[in-house]
């Protein structure tokens, strides 16, 4: 065993260098064993406990030495050193155990000083040495008894590291075992998604130990240990919770690759807690590095990535009982390029129909042939609001949300080229009509009032008629009103699906037409018209639509109105 059965070494290591000769104190064996079993007892001490992983810190160019004892010859021994954020130089050596003082702690103090001198000054026989940032092991099935020394040094920078030592490696197995093929496979690659698959750890599939898999995604390099990942993140950076069953990871949600970070809800802290050290350390810049633990499944899709970007993926099997982990062989992949948008050419004075998928975008280009003082863009959004951006020779001139019919007049420039970007709604697909012209009097879309609702007068309802009103403008336009009988269970949701403002009267049945009339008023406050619709059936529901038709023949539909006649009169 290690130190656990060697109280003499423990007392020697804790004895102050300047202490005067005195008898070794007796100890409470039960209390001593309890302290040895407590991992916190070894924090920042130079003693390595048997079968427990310790975490510690190295200052640059300041070596650190740890001790442990193997009491019997031919003892199995395994030592694992895990560098975190910097390469380490480490060496394992052994020297013979000093003979223990005889008697009940009543011997001459001289041999005690000599033994301490022997422990602290002798170099011993070197068994193994390593320099680098890999997780490295020393394993021996038959080690000699003796005092073992582990010397560590970081020449690059201050760094964290972890050490694990055991004399029972066959039965302990605290680190999850890797499968015969420890690689991560990229099974599917898209513009914003990467699907990963890996073989399960035998520790989970055969030994039935509690194993979960944690994926780390970043754009810099692969990591060789979870300790290195945690060191890269500041103590305030958090790890994401596992997704709900059946749902794959959508980070960014996860503070993102290029997207705004979200709040701190649903986050866990890393294994390492921040500590205050004697030296001042400069704050680390924030990095695009993220981890998500996904339970025990072994296929996973990472989404919301950036197109045409290289990402590095690392997988760690974590024993949830011990919190100790083993790294699979990491991989990397570049997401596919964004599909090049086909640019639609706009012709001067011609209306162009545009369809945009949900959350999609379309690019339009307008290059006037002749010189021009002004350019006018008319946009008719048939359904929900859309976002419009207009650039002239690369310079942003306009960025707005458009609902219904909008007109924008911009100052012209000789030989200028205009690029229009239209971004669709999050609710669903978008349909638009777009007109670009350098002729200021070319107005194909009718002007609309700010309020395009139809008002019904409840007090004027009869068993066979309803009276409605709507707003007009100062411009003389043609208005046509249509009616359609609907079921009594017709609701607002069904009405909303029929709110395509770009569908004109030509799509309606002739029998649904009520009348058409021209109307305008120079006084905008009085630009209101009313109409009584007759010949209706008692107790029936009707959907009313008003279309305003412009000089170019293009129409815009007002918001539909659901009305119902009285059942008894």
In a domain, residue 30? The reply is no
Of 33, 42, 35, the residue nearest 13 (C-alpha): 42
Residues 350 and 314 grouped into a single domain: no
Domain extent, residue 321, equals 176-237+287-339
- pLDDT, mean of residues 171-177: 83
Q: Residues 6 or more apart from 247 whose CB is under 8 A from it?
A: none
227 phi/psi in degrees, rounded to 5: -60, -40
- 298: closest CA among 190, 184, 206, 194? 184
Per DSSP bridges, beta strands 343-346 and 361-366 are parallel
Tell me: do 375 and 431 sit in the same domain.
yes
Q: What is the mean pLDDT of residues 359-377?
A: 86
Evaluate whether residue 27 is within a structural domain: no
Do 189 and 295 share a domain, yes or no? yes
Distance between CA atoms of 439 and 423, rounded to whole angstroms? 26
pLDDT of 514 higher than 60: yes
Assess whether 291 and 402 both reside in one domain: no
Asked whether residue 405 falls in the same domain as residue 526, the answer is: no
Question: Does 467 share its domain with 507?
Answer: yes
Residues 136 and 196 in one domain: no
pLDDT of 31 > 80? The answer is: no
Question: What residues are paired with 188 via a beta bridge?
Answer: 195
CATH code, domain carrying 376: 2.60.120.680
Q: How many CA atoms lie within 13 A of 239 on its CB side?
A: 21
Note the pLDDT of residue 45. 59
Same domain, 205 and 330: yes
User: Strand 374-392 relative to strand 351-356: parallel, antiparallel, unpaired?
Assistant: unpaired
pLDDT of residue 173: 79
Among residues 437, 468, 493, the one where a domain terminates is: 437
Final residue of a structural domain among 300, 315, 339: 339
Report pLDDT for 131: 92
Is 223 among the domain residues? yes
Give yes or no for a contact between 196 and 303, defined as CB atoms under 8 angstroms apart: no
Cα gap 141→147, rounded to integer Å: 17
What are the backbone angles phi and psi of residue 138, rounded to the nearest 5°? -115, 120
Let me know whether 68 and 137 are in one domain.
yes
Q: What is the pLDDT of residues 386-408, one digit of tens each?
A: 899 999 988 999 899 888 888 88
More confident residue, 38 or 326: 326
pTM value surpassing 0.85: no
Q: Which of 389-403, 431-445, 456-470 has the lowest mean pLDDT?
A: 431-445
Residue 211 lies in a domain: yes
Which residues does residue 293 pair with via DSSP β-bridges, in sequence order? 214
Q: Judge if 543 and 489 occupy the same domain.
A: yes
Residue 25 lies in a domain: no
The rounded distance, in Å, linking the Cα atoms of 523 and 177 is 84
User: Residue 105 falls within a domain, yes or no?
Assistant: no
Task: Identify the CATH number of the domain in which residue 556 sits.
Answer: 2.60.40.10
Q: Which two tokens stand for residue 230?
A: 């945690």
Statement to judge: residues 230 and 356 lie in one domain: no
Q: How far apart are CA 318 and CA 325, in angstroms?
A: 4
> Please, which residues bridge with residue 218 across strands?
289, 312
In this prediction, residues 218-246 reach a mean pLDDT of 67
435 close to 401: Cβ distance less than 8 angstroms? no
In a domain, 57, yes or no: yes
Kindly report the number of other CB atoms within 10 A of residue 362's CB atom: 21
How is residue 249 written in tokens?
């990871």
- Pick from 88, 79, 146, 81: nearest CA to 119: 146
Last residue of a domain, one of 139, 156, 172: 172
The token duo for 98 is 């000093």
Q: For residue 339, what pLDDT band results from cuts at 50, 70 and 90?
A: confident
Q: State the DSSP H helix or E strand holding residue 413, giving kind and residue range, or none if neither.
A: none
Q: Same domain for 222 and 364?
A: no
Number of structural domains found in the chain: 4
Asked, for residue 252, whether it belongs to a domain, the answer is: no
């Amino acid at each position: 065993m290690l130190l656990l059965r060697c109280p003499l070494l423990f007392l020697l290591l804790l004895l102050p260098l300047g202490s005067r000769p005195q008898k070794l104190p007796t100890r409470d064996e039960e209390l001593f064993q309890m302290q040895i079993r407590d991992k916190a007892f070894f924090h920042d001490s130079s003693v390595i406990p048997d079968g427990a992983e310790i975490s510690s810190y190295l200052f640059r160019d300041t070596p650190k030495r740890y001790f442990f004892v193997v009491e019997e010859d031919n003892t199995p021994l395994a030592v694992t050193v895990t560098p975190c954020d910097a390469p380490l130089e480490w060496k394992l050596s052994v020297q013979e155990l000093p003979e223990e003082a005889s008697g009940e702690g009543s011997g001459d103090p001289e041999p005690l000083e000599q033994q301490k001198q022997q422990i602290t000054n002798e170099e011993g026989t070197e068994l193994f040495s390593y320099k680098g940032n890999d997780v490295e092991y020393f394993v021996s099935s038959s080690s000699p008894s003796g005092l073992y020394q582990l010397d560590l040094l970081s020449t690059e920078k201050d760094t964290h590291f972890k050490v694990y030592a055991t004399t029972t490696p066959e039965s302990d197995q605290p680190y999850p075992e890797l499968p015969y093929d420890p690689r991560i496979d990229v099974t599917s690659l898209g513009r914003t998604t990467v699907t990963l698959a890996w073989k399960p750890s035998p520790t989970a599939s055969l030994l039935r130990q509690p194993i979960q898999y944690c994926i780390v995604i970043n754009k810099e390099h692969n990591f060789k240990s979870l300790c290195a990942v945690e060191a890269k993140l500041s103590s305030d950076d958090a790890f994401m919770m596992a997704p709900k069953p059946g749902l794959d990871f959508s980070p960014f949600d996860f503070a993102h690759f290029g997207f705004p970070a979200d709040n701190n809800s649903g986050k866990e802290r890393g294994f390492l807690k921040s500590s205050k050290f004697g030296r001042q350390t400069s704050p680390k810049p924030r990095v695009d590095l993220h981890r998500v633990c996904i339970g025990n499944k072994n296929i996973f899709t990472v989404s919301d990535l950036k197109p045409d970007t290289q990402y590095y993926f690392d997988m760690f099997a974590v024993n949830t009982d011990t919190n100790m982990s083993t790294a699979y062989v990491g991989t990397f992949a570049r997401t596919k390029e964004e599909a090049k948008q086909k640019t639609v050419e706009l012709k001067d004075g011609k209306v162009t129909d545009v369809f945009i998928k949900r959350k999609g975008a379309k690019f339009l280009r307008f290059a006037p042939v002749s010189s021009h003082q002004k350019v006018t863009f008319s946009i008719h959004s048939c359904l929900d609001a859309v976002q419009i951006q207009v650039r002239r020779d690369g310079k942003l001139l306009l960025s707005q949300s458009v609902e219904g019919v909008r007109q924008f007049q911009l100052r012209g420039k000789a030989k200028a080229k205009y690029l229009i970007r239209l971004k669709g709604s999050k609710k669903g697909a978008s349909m638009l009509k777009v007109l670009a012209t350098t002729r200021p009097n070319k107005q194909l879309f009718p002007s609309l009032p700010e309020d395009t609702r139809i008002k019904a007068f409840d007090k004027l309802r009869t068993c066979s008629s309803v009276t409605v009103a709507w707003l007009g403008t100062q411009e003389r336009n043609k208005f046509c009103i249509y009616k359609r009988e609907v079921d009594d269970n017709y609701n607002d949701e069904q009405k909303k699906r029929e709110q395509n403002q770009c569908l004109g009267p030509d799509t309606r049945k002739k029998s649904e037409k009520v009348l058409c009339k021209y109307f305008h008023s120079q006084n905008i406050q009085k630009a209101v018209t009313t109409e009584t619709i007759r010949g209706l059936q008692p107790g029936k529901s009707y959907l009313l639509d008003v279309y305003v038709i412009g000089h170019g023949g293009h129409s815009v539909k007002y918001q539909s109105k659901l009305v119902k006649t009285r059942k008894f009169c």
